[in-house]
Amino acid sequence: MFRFEEPAYLYLLLLLPLLVAFYLFSNYRRRKAIRKFGDPVLMAQLMPDVSKYRPDVKFWLVFTAIGLFAVLLARPQFGSKLETVKRKGVEVMIALDISNSMLAQDVQPSRLEKAKRLISKLVDGMENDKVGMIVFAGDAFTQLPITSDYISAKMFLESINPSLISKQGTAIGAAISLAARSFTPQEGVGRAIVVITDGENHEGGAVEAAKEAAKKGIQVNVLGVGLPDGAPIPIEGSNDFRRDREGNVIVTRLNEAMCQEIAKEGKSDYPDTDGLILNNKEQAVYLNFADCTPVILYDKKQNYGAVVHAGWRGTAGKIAAKAAEKMIKEFGSNPQELTAVIGPAISLCCYNVGDEVFEKLKAAVTDFDGLYEIRNGEKFVDLKNINARQLKEAGIQEIDVCPYCTCCDNDMFFSYRKEKATTNRHSAVLKLK
């Protein structure tokens, strides 16, 4: 198939006959003028340096150049077929918290850097979508208007840091309102706002802004970055942490309750994932750990599995057993075909808990014997083997429990408890064969 993308430029070819006519008329006038002076043969002898053919060569070169230029402007195309593709996609406005609390390192390398990496992965997964970015602290402003230029989006992302906004705070409401006004007027396009924040020092108005956005058909998603236990805020360029007026180290904590409330009013779900099931060989899943219990489940027959993060709350809620039950119920796994691996975590030797946590963990298994110790009035529990016993109660018999304690064996593993939240993380990874 042959076609021109811009056929209107072909009208320039109509100039070519006019150029030929003009050139022929000019030659006629030139020869007529020469005859006025004398015989053309004699005149040719009097002008030996004048070429008879050079003007013709120059003209036809210009003629050809103009013709080719017109054809090139028309953009000729060759191919086997013509396919019309209608561009579809969604518009996503990302509102990123850049307050000082986002410098905390309870997630590595910091909350802000982790958030930027998540955004980068989100942009990498876009195809026909548009993305824009808003940054906020005490104020909110547009860092990148909505665009389909993903390269520019990632360039703007790299330049984001807390120094962009001097006023501290977490003006989530202002960020959501600004994001809702930043979409294109195009109709029939899905719109979503993604708020990435720790929710610290929340200034109000966020729930109302999310509700107003939802009324306009804009979904408001919230991604909380950080841990509920919190971490101090480092001072850039030093080894010290930010302090309050009394000199106490400020500990910033993830405000999950606020994130959940905003997500609810924004007609979305707050992601609170402590387990992932994988059945795609081309992908891998991983979860980060520091003291909590990593549990990997694998169906040997169907070749799929799950990774579970079991802290004390997850263990009390039987999260590993629930993942196994989901695999059995929804994917048809046979418990006899399932194998479980429980990785390194804080162990019975080091994990002391209060009375409330102790009672909840005690209620999470039918038989609690051998899963706890009382030393000098303190209660110690064995999270790893509590999960193992829960899995046995779910029908899984092949269970391998790692003997290492992340707190005792701190030369090999990172311990959130031992290193007082200034820790890195290790990960459990599942990749199907």
User: What distance in Å separates the CA atoms of residue 174 and residue 187, rounded to the nearest whole number?
Assistant: 24
Q: Which residues contact 303 (CB under 8 A, 6 or more apart)?
A: 281, 432, 433
Q: How far apart are the first and last CA of the chain?
A: 44
Query: What pLDDT was estimated at residue 391?
Result: 95
Could you tell me the fold of the domain covering 275-431?
A: CNF1/YfiH-like putative cysteine hydrolases (3.60.140)
* Tokens standing for residue 94: 């990302």
Write the DSSP assignment of 179-208 as a string of letters. HHTSS-S-SS-EEEEEEEE--TTB-S-HHH
368 Cβ partners below 8 Å, 6+ apart? 361, 362
Closest by Cα among 158, 165, 217, 169 to 193: 217
Per-residue pLDDT, 42: 65
CA-nearest of 96, 351, 111, 135 to 231 is 111
Torsion of CA 12, 16, 18, 22, to 10 degrees: 140
**Closest to 414 (Cα-Cα) out of 404, 403, 426:** 426
Name 70's Cβ contacts closer than 8 Å, sequence gap at least 6: 9, 10, 12, 13
Adjacent-strand bridge partners of 97: 136
What is residue 44's predicted lDDT score, i.e. its pLDDT? 64
Q: Give 10-residue mean pLDDT values along the chain (433 residues).
A: 79 86 83 69 64 76 86 77 63 93 86 91 87 92 92 90 84 92 88 89 79 92 83 86 88 84 82 71 70 90 88 90 89 90 92 92 93 93 95 93 89 77 63 74
- Residue 329 has a pLDDT of 87
Give me the phi and psi of 387, to 5 degrees please: -65, -40
Interatomic CA distance for residues 227 and 123, integer angstroms: 25
Task: Say what the pLDDT of residue 269 is.
Answer: 67
Q: What is the CATH number of domain 90-265?
A: 3.40.50.410
Fold identical between 90-265 and 275-431? no
pLDDT at residue number 67 = 85
**Burial (0-12, 13-18, 19+ Cβ within 10 Å), 425:** middle
CA nearest neighbour of 179 among 264, 97, 98, 95: 95
Find the DSSP H helices in 187-318: 206-215, 256-265, 312-316
For residues 424 and 189, give the distance between their C-alpha atoms in angstroms, rounded to a whole number. Answer: 41
The dihedrals phi and psi of 238, each to the nearest 5 degrees, come to -145, 175
Distant-in-sequence, close-in-space partners of 9: CB < 8 Å, separation ≥ 6: 70, 73, 74
Cα(362)–Cα(334) distance, integer angstroms: 28
Burial class of 345 by CB neighbour count within 10 A (0 to 12, 13 to 18, 19+):
buried
Query: Alpha helix (H) ranges present in 332-401?
Result: 355-362, 383-393
pLDDT score, position 404: 92
Angle at which helix 172-180 crosses helix 206-215, to 10 degrees, equals 20
The helix or strand, by DSSP H or E, that contains position 94, with its residue range, turns out to be strand 90-97
Which residues, listed in sequence order, are joined to residue 307 by a DSSP beta bridge? 276, 296
Give the number of other Cβ atoms within 10 Å of residue 212's Cβ: 17
The residue ranges of every structural domain in the chain are: 2-78, 90-265, 275-431
